[in-house]
Amino acid sequence: MDNTIKLPWQEFDADALRFDDQVILITGAAGGIGSTLTKQLATRGATVIMLDKKQRHLEKLYDELCSENATEPVMLPTDLTQVNAENINALVHGLEQDFGRLDALVHNAAELGTLAPLDQYDLQQWNTVMQVNLHAPYLLTRELLPLLQNANNGRVLFTTTDSATRPSAFWGAYAIAYAGVEKQMSLWHEELENTTKLHFSCINPGAVRTAMRRLSHPGEKSEESPDPIEIIPAYLQALSVMDSKYRGKTLLVR
């Protein structure tokens, strides 16, 4: 069954959309789509929990948001390569004590890895890509599930890519990890759609002008891809209370 649907975000009026009093955790919040989405949500009333390994970038973003009178965000310096079943409990316990619920979880952090043949792929790099892109989202979703269920309309938004369904040679761990992400989202949805109000979906932003895009496509002109701010209305639509037809779907931005 094809779970892919085009998100009609160009027709969505996001200008007046508010996220007052919502608690939203974003991984990879310090740059690219993550920082842009963080700014948009914080200026619309959300308390954004900014998870990223780059603490100095988080501090800069925190200061920027506070100077703009946005809702004060929360910094959560975390290296997803080090997240495991043992140490994630402290993270979850802190969020439970501070907030008691989580309205949305956005899996935005990503690791590109290297472009190499499968039989020559560096195994340490393979493990890193799988950990950040596939394993960490699973662990976070699993452990944060009770907090998401405490919200009125808990949402989990995974990120995916064209490589998940149309892999190209040499994209190795990156393509395989995101194929797993899409299947993981589908399983969460199928297992919980009849017993909870949780919304699980993937979003595929397509080519976006980010640091990762420059690494993966070094010969591409920057103007050939949209700036993150240009596609943020799609994320805002995906994180608003959506029609049930979007549950369990991969949402195409372009």
Q: What is the pLDDT of residues 158-167, one digit of tens each?
A: 999 998 899 8
Q: What is the pLDDT of residue 227?
A: 79
How far apart (Å, rounded) are the C-alpha atoms in residues 249 and 254? Answer: 15
More confident residue, 170 or 215: 170
Could you tell me the end-to-end alpha-carbon distance of the chain, in angstroms, rounded to an integer? 21
> 172-192 and 123-130 helices cross at what angle (nearest 10)?
30
* Per-residue exposure over 8-20, b if at least 16 CB sit within 10 Å of its own CB, e if not: ebeeeeeeebebe
CATH architecture assignment, domain 4-252 = 3-Layer(aba) Sandwich (3.40)
Does the pLDDT of residue 81 top 80, yes or no? yes
Specify the pLDDT at position 211.
60
At 16 the pLDDT is 86
Q: Quickly state the pLDDT bin for 209 (edges 50, 70, 90).
A: low
Could you give the angle at which helices 136-149 and 88-98 cross, rounded to 10 degrees? 30
Q: What percent of the chain has pLDDT over 90?
A: 74
Question: What are 87-114's pLDDT values in tens digits?
Answer: 999 999 999 999 999 999 999 999 999 8
Beta bridge partners of 5: 251
Quick check: 207 pLDDT over 80? no
- Among 62-76, 128-142, 198-212, 213-227, the least confident range: 213-227
Q: Is the pLDDT of residue 212 over 70?
A: no
Segment 142-177, tens digit of pLDDT? 999 999 999 999 999 999 999 889 988 998 999 999
Q: Which candidate, 183, 42, 166, 58, places its Cα nearest to that of 109?
A: 58
Domain residue ranges of the chain, discontinuous segments joined by +: 4-252
pLDDT value at position 135? 97
As a 3-state breakdown, the chain gives helix, strand, coil percent values, each rounded to 5, of: 45, 15, 40
Q: Quote the mean pLDDT of the chain.
A: 91
Dihedral of the CA atoms 19, 22, 24, 30 (nearest 10)?
A: 60
In this predicted structure, the answer to whether residue 213 has a pLDDT above a threshold of 60 is no
Which of 8, 1, 10, 71 minimizes the C-alpha distance to 242? 8
pLDDT number for residue 208: 66
